[in-house]
Amino acid sequence: MDKIRLTRRFTFEAAHALAHYDGACRHVHGHSYKLEVTVLGQPLQEEQHPKNGMVLDFGDLKKLVTTHVLEKFDHALVLLQDSAPALIEVLQHQGHKLLLTPWQPTCEHMLLYIKEQLLPHLPQNVSLHSLKLWETENAYGEWHAADNL
Amino acid sequence: MDKIRLTRRFTFEAAHALAHYDGACRHVHGHSYKLEVTVLGQPLQEEQHPKNGMVLDFGDLKKLVTTHVLEKFDHALVLLQDSAPALIEVLQHQGHKLLLTPWQPTCEHMLLYIKEQLLPHLPQNVSLHSLKLWETENAYGEWHAADNL
Amino acid sequence: MDKIRLTRRFTFEAAHALAHYDGACRHVHGHSYKLEVTVLGQPLQEEQHPKNGMVLDFGDLKKLVTTHVLEKFDHALVLLQDSAPALIEVLQHQGHKLLLTPWQPTCEHMLLYIKEQLLPHLPQNVSLHSLKLWETENAYGEWHAADNL
């Protein structure tokens, strides 16, 4: 049975700032991020099984990404920890949702973090093929397993 | 001469139902499927030839996919044969367009079927690189030759 | 550190004609071309550096493609040199922007030309992964380094 790639697309609204950046992205700003998560596997061949013919139920992929990725990022402000202590303190005091990271929150680093969040939770019969993250409609990054064997 | 991938995108309207599925997809429902067919080859280098500089004429790729794929699926109901004999009999009696398959009509299995329909009809100078099939705007599957060497 | 692919998407308006073609594309006509340029590399890990966490600044990728590709193609008419001397003479006389090429201006050949324009100008820490060029919303070509090792 041939292998098939399955992809589910998501949107989340997040803010970030790039510490030490030499341009407008130094300021706190936000994006309507689009995220595509692609898994690879063989469709199940069990005639009476509810998931017959599926690599993974699109609904299960959605739940997995919602729990392990979207709930962390959606409507959050992602900041390099220690980059702006006064700002972070005020926002925390006001109850804003923050994701403080040991890495600069570029599109590239967010992809690597998302990969780490998802890998331990994928079912055994699929592998993580790739991730695609749009910062804007015209700019996106991708992590591919095949680039990192 | 470098190899180039060429892709044509299509839409078709089809219904399906997933027998034994444990959710809403058990019911007859439809999608505006999007399909991308990608071939790989070298652009022709013959100065006076009408197809000079082309891997394949986009128009020829369109005709090929229309004849061998879209005409089967467009405005059809795709059902696992034997899954609902009474329903199938009534629909056939009323002249509906049915595609009865020995496989569960998931996105995954439709991709494998589309691959089988296209492979015998591609010109010799190109190979089928991949197929991409959207069930919805946010959920799609892909078959890639490179995943199945 | 994992490798990441970065893509920037562009639009340009250009006209072309395909000499000797056996269809409507023989006539001068235009497209709103979309172009995606994808580079591959490792995100920079230097905490105080303005580009920390980036493979390449999306803004730098934009400048590079604008200078070396868009400025040649945007609002230009691309014609096979010697294909229509009388037409070319009149258009030149009237000050139109022409790109006269030794190759038939198909989507395939434009990709190869764009590759040649970009390769000498990419920073050393990234490689050109792929190019994707849409002639219309439903028809596009791609050049991939991996297809041409």
A22, A108, A141 ranked by CB distance to C50: nearest: A22
Residue B103, pLDDT score: 96
Closest CA to B1 of C121, C108, C78, C139: C108
pLDDT of A116 strictly over 90: yes
Looking at residue A72, its pLDDT comes to 97
Candidates B9, B49, B55; nearest CB to C108 = B55
Strand, helix or coil at B149?
Answer: coil
Which residues are paired to B132 by β-bridges? Answer: B36, B142
Rounded to the nearest integer, the mean pLDDT of chain A is 96
Residue C27 assigned to a binding site: no
CA A105/CA A15 separation, integer angstroms: 10
Contact criterion met (CB < 8 Å) for C53 and A139:
no
Q: pLDDT for B94-107, tens place per residue?
A: 999 999 999 999 99
pLDDT in tens, A41-61: 999 999 999 999 999 999 999
Please tell me which residue in A13, A49, A75, A96 is annotated as part of the active site: A75
Chains that touch C (3 or more CB pairs under 8 A): A, B
Q: Which residues contact B72 (CB under 8 A, 6 or more apart)?
A: B99, B117
Closest chain B C-alpha to A122 CA, distance in angstroms: 17
pLDDT of residue C141: 98
Distance in angstroms (rounded) separating the CA atoms of residues A87 and A77: 11
- Look at residue A34 in the predicted model and tell me its pLDDT: 98
Dihedral-angle region of residue A120 (phi above 0 means left; psi in -120 to 50 means alpha; beta otherwise): alpha
Q: Which among C22, C105, C115 has the least Cβ separation from residue B50?
A: C22
Whether C53 and chain A come into contact, CB under 8 Å, resolves to yes
Res B82: pLDDT: 86
Q: Quick check: A84 pLDDT over 90?
A: no
For C27, the token pair is 């006539």
Chain A residues within 8 A of C58 when measuring between CB atoms? 135, 139
Task: Output the pLDDT for position C120.
Answer: 98
Find the CB nearest C2 among A135, A140, A143: A143
Q: What is the mean pLDDT of residues A107-117?
A: 98
Distance of CA C54 to the CA centre of its chain: 23
Q: Distance between CA atoms of C81 and C60, rounded to whole angstroms?
A: 33
8 Å CB contact of B5 and C142: yes
Which of A127-141, B80-94, B122-136 is the least confident region? B80-94
Within 8 A of B81 by CB-CB distance, chain A residues are none
Q: Are A50 and B112 inside 8 Å of each other by CB?
A: no
Residue B84 has pLDDT above 90, yes or no: no
Instruction: Judge whether C75 counts as a catalytic residue.
Output: yes
* Mean pLDDT, residues B31-60 taken together: 97
Of the candidates A132, A138, A109, the residue with the CA atom closest to the CA atom of residue A18: A109
* Domains of chain B, start order: 4-148 (3.30.479.10)
pLDDT tier at B121, thresholds 50, 70, 90: very high
CB-defined contacts B:C, below 8 A: 69
Closest residue on chain C to B41 (Cα) = C147
Give pLDDT tens digits along chain C (149 positions): 999 999 999 999 999 999 999 999 999 999 999 999 999 999 999 989 999 999 999 999 999 999 999 999 999 999 999 888 999 999 999 999 999 999 999 999 999 999 999 999 999 999 999 999 999 999 999 999 999 99
Residues 6+ away with beta carbon under 8 Å from B125: B41, B42, B44, B55, B56
Contacts of A115-119 with C-beta under 8 Å, sequence gap 24+, read A115/A143, A115/C2, A117/A68, A117/A69, A117/A72, A118/A37, A118/A64, A118/A65, A118/A68, A118/A69
Q: Please report the pLDDT score of residue A82 as a whole number.
A: 86
User: Is B2 within 8 Å of C147 when comparing Cβ atoms?
Assistant: yes
* Pairing verdict, β B4-16 and A139-144: unpaired
Spell out the long-range contacts of B122-128 with Cβ–Cβ below 8 A and sequence spacing 24 or more: B122/B39, B122/B64, B123/B56, B123/B60, B125/B41, B125/B42, B125/B44, B125/B55, B125/B56, B126/B6, B126/B39, B126/B40, B126/B41, B126/B55, B126/B56, B127/B39, B127/B40, B127/B41, B128/B37, B128/B38, B128/B39, B128/B40
pTM tops 0.95: yes
> Chain C partners of A104 at a C-beta cutoff of 8 Å?
47, 52-53
Choosing from B27, B49, B75, B96, which is the catalytic residue? B75
